[in-house]
Amino acid sequence: MVSTATLISMFVPLVFSFVLFAGLILFYKKKTGIYVKPIIIGSIGFIVITQILEKILHVAVLTNFPNYAEHPWLFGVYGGMAAGLFEELGRFLLFTWLLKKYHDYKGGLSFGIGWGGIEAIVLMLTMMVPNIIFAFMINAGTLEASLGSQMPKEQLVTIKETVLNNGVSYYLLGCVERFFAAFMQIAFSLLVLAGVVKKKFSYVILAILIHAVIDFPLAFYQTGHIKSLWMIEVHITIIGILSLFFIKRARKFFE
């Protein structure tokens, strides 16, 4: 059985992601002011670029290389570079083509809020909703009857064990991760926009490389070579804190 506390903790990151998005908008609206259009473009851009275009590439690559988990170093390089290229070049193209009138500090902040805010919502929905459904099925005793004909028995056992073994802290840590990741996305947006404003594509290349380096260790957790979720959360927290410092200092790029 999945405990009531665990079930409640599954809903917390979902609610938090919506609160985070709204909170970022309200906070920066009061602090620096915001633009609505860059927030909308940033949100739509994240969905199209990462959830459609990038995932098409991932499906093609992982289908042809099903043993990727045995090669975490190569998987890390691929995953990091794919994320860096799609996200940072995507930002560059959107700033260049659709947001020509928003090349100031407030425009970069607004775009980053849209990108990071919708990322939190989309990832929490895709991660938590299936777990919540599986948890209710397990407690009702209908998991095997409902899904037994749709997937291999081994996969069903893995899903059940995962849902039963993930405790409250596992789900609550998702709030911490999304909080700091949102500021990372704002920082990347400002860095890429600075490259557009100063006509220095080297800034975009720098953003791609930094993004790849940040994402590289995550491959070792995804492939099971790093077991501790806390190590990943500490990694993201450090990046988030550094991003906050950069966001404050990035204003000088646009003065």
Query: Alpha-carbon distance 90 to 42, whole Å?
Result: 10
Burial class (CB in 10 A: 0-12, 13-18, 19+), 224: exposed
Query: Alpha-carbon distance 234 to 250, whole Å?
Result: 24
Residue with token string 């906050």:
244
Contact (CB, 8 A) for 68 and 62: yes
Element (H, E) at 57: helix 54-64
Q: Both tokens of residue 167?
A: 């405790």
- Orientation of helix 105-140 relative to helix 72-97, angle to 10°: 130
Query: Alpha-carbon distance 32 to 6, whole Å?
Result: 38
- Cβ-proximal residues to 24 (8 Å cutoff; 6+ apart), any chain: 113, 116, 117, 182
pLDDT tens string, the chain, 255 residues long: the values are 889 999 999 999 999 999 999 999 999 999 999 999 999 999 999 999 999 999 999 999 999 988 888 888 999 999 999 999 999 999 999 999 999 999 999 999 999 999 999 999 999 999 999 999 999 998 988 888 777 777 788 888 888 888 888 889 889 999 999 999 999 999 999 999 999 999 999 999 999 999 999 999 888 888 877 777 888 889 999 999 999 999 999 999 998
Q: Give the type of residue at 13.
A: P
| C-alpha closest to that of 121 among 190, 39, 61 | 39
**Is the whole-model pTM more than 0.85?**
yes
Contact (CB, 8 A) for 13 and 175: yes
pLDDT at 29: 96
Q: Where are the alpha helices (DSSP H) in 98-152?
A: 105-140, 143-147
Q: Both tokens of residue 26?
A: 């309200």
pLDDT at 69: 81
- Cβ-proximal residues to 28 (8 Å cutoff; 6+ apart), any chain: 34, 109, 110, 113
pLDDT at 141: 86
Query: Alpha-carbon distance 206 to 247, whole Å?
Result: 16
Query: Alpha-carbon distance 92 to 19, whole Å?
Result: 28
